[in-house]
Structure 1
């Protein structure tokens, strides 16, 4: 069963001409792709400010409001008008003024200035929200959405948090992950039932999470492994409360587990644990939250078949599946407690999926590690990496 989550360098020196398929001819020249296309002026370089990972592709939201993508493109998820895989970053066509991005298995959603949403890629379950099930190789508008504040993307469904604190959902609904009280797919947005005062959202393969303004968490969808955290394994087509959680600052949805960042920088986890992805030192599934071992002063979290934590000092910890080197510790050994990702410091944001990760660096460059079979590490190769490498085709301040 394919799994992923909806749900990132060593910077090149100014004198280098090896910037991932780019031709940089001095500080005063333009930055030019191998095919001759101008990507940025050397006098005004564009840097990444946010990242997202699909099952085998990556996204970077650039400081100028455009988006770049790389990796698998079988469903048009790179948004460049083709279905050709890319091992370095290319521009998503026709997108400007983007405020946030999210990546599902093989589709993406972008929050645009003005509070509307665009989507592209796989649309087999209506996850693009345009009223069809036709894949799109360039971005289309999600029907009927305005006033959106945040977006999230699951395996084949999507979420939008609106200005009034309610949540809209569309796409696959086999397990009730749209939260509308049914299990019918929807190709346009529907309202998640019983939610108001939502602060943040997260989506995974087949379940969804909402962080409430009071610091509690609600969950809905697939609960086979206890990933909804209500002490049962019963699927839910409307939101239920996660047991025993208060003071939560952020949430993340793994493939079949969930994470919460608590006050004080500790991490709570629940759901499937056969690969050690809960980080509690066991392989025992949990239907209510437990603590990940040895973590304090955490700033951000993410998960899939493994989990990541961004620390206050700008380093990253990882645990769970390591089959493709996605824990970044130089091995391929699964870990049931957190280990340090090597050669990473000064990280601003993290994003993970089933077998690779992205880290956004303080200088606006991006590093990647893990599975690279479709070029999803963006380093110009298809070689797996057990330690981080630079994503090419993204212009950071030190690329010039």
Structure 2
């Protein structure tokens, strides 16, 4: 969502890998103070999630910490006060298995398989059956158990169940929930055709993508810029149910949905991207929009992960 934000997170990961001892961070106006505080605190971190203007970390001890903008309560500390240093998420100082951050909301999966969300809820993206913003975590309706993973888009959220099904909720103006409608939902609904066999999910600004256990990539929702990868773009390209990504019926290890583009990691370690390319975000040495996947140059092999901003 913000390239500088994501680059700073990458810097954190590099520094964490570079030293077993707590790294020392020099004062620098270009370095986010929350990231600097995290690095210098000595808290061991296993994952970081970036939202629109906030960041969250999952500690090795299983706690959730967040910092940054907090006007909707997206930091989960019971306030709407912006924080320049990490604060504990209320009730989640342990027992957290995964965390994800969206536009102005955040969600976490517990080690017991329950799902909690907090922050902006104007479109029902917290999944608690209301449109009330929450400054502390609330349980997602009907997902108090059996959740394996969560992904947060701008104003929608999706979860993968332990049974391999995909469920989504929140804003649905372009079909990003994948249930065959454009009606926003305050509680989870099944994604059409994906009630089982889902290996991973990724929610973007207004579209969502999945990788099946068979290694196929599927996307749904907003497709005006070709971000669904099915060969279409423009006003009639939105899809309310999953469509196959062209040429990626197998061999996909992971997918990441960004603002208006999408990228996939192949089982061979290569990166393929599609969608809006006005800033060269597809990595194909052009600024030409692509409605089907193209190889990102220089990363055709040897890659372990991919993320789209």
| Structure 1 contact 123–134 (Cα < 8 Å) conserved | yes
Q: Which structure has greater strand proportion?
A: 1
Match of 1:268 in 2: 218
Deviation of 1:263 (Å)? 2.0
Deviation by residue 1:227-260 (Cα, 9 ceiling, x = unmatched): 0001011111110100111311000001100001
Residue from 337, 342, 346 that aligns with 2:297 = 342
Q: Is residue 290 from structure 1 mapped to residue 246 from structure 2 by the alignment?
A: no
Deviation of 1:334 (Å)? 0.7
Deviation by residue 1:109-133 (Cα, 9 ceiling, x = unmatched): 1111221111111112111111111
Match of 2:193 in 1: 244
Match of 2:274 in 1: 319
Deviation by residue 1:122-175 (Cα, 9 ceiling, x = unmatched): 112111111111221111111111311000000110010011111010111110
Gaps (5+ residues) in structure 1?
A: 6-52, 82-90, 354-400
Match of 2:284 in 1: 329
Q: Structure 1 pair 269/68, CA: closer, same or farther in 2 (3 Å)?
A: farther
Deviation of 1:58 (Å)? 3.8
Which secondary structure does the structure 2 equivalent of 1:131 belong to? coil
Gaps (5+ residues) in structure 2?
A: none
Deviation of 1:215 (Å)? 1.2
Q: Computing the radius of gyration over CA atoms, which structure comes out larger, 1 or 2?
A: 1
Deviation by residue 1:199-231 (Cα, 9 ceiling, x = unmatched): 111001100010011111000110000000010
Match of 2:183 in 1: 234
Q: Which structure has greater helix proportion?
A: 2
Q: Structure 1 pair 248/121, CA: closer, same or farther in 2 (3 Å)?
A: same
| Structure 2 contact 229–293 (Cα < 8 Å) conserved | yes
| Structure 2 contact 8–32 (Cα < 8 Å) conserved | no
Match of 2:148 in 1: 199
Q: Structure 1 pair 332/78, CA: closer, same or farther in 2 (3 Å)?
A: farther
Deviation of 1:106 (Å)? 1.4
RCO comparison, higher one (Cα < 8 Å, 6+):
1
| Structure 1 contact 77–121 (Cα < 8 Å) conserved | no
Residue from 170, 173, 176 that aligns with 2:118 = 170
**How many positions carry a matched residue from both structures?**
291
Match of 2:66 in 1: 119
* RMSD of aligned alpha carbons: 2.3
Q: Give the structure-1-normalised TM-score.
A: 0.69
| Structure 1 contact 65–97 (Cα < 8 Å) conserved | no
Residue from 217, 222, 234 that aligns with 2:171 = 222
Q: Give the structure-2-normalised TM-score.
A: 0.88
Counterparts of 1:65 and 1:279 in 2: how far apart (Å)? 44
Q: Structure 1 pair 173/228, CA: closer, same or farther in 2 (3 Å)?
A: same
| Structure 2 contact 34–86 (Cα < 8 Å) conserved | no
Which secondary structure does the structure 2 equivalent of 1:80 belong to? helix
Counterparts of 2:23 and 2:183 in 1: how far apart (Å)? 39
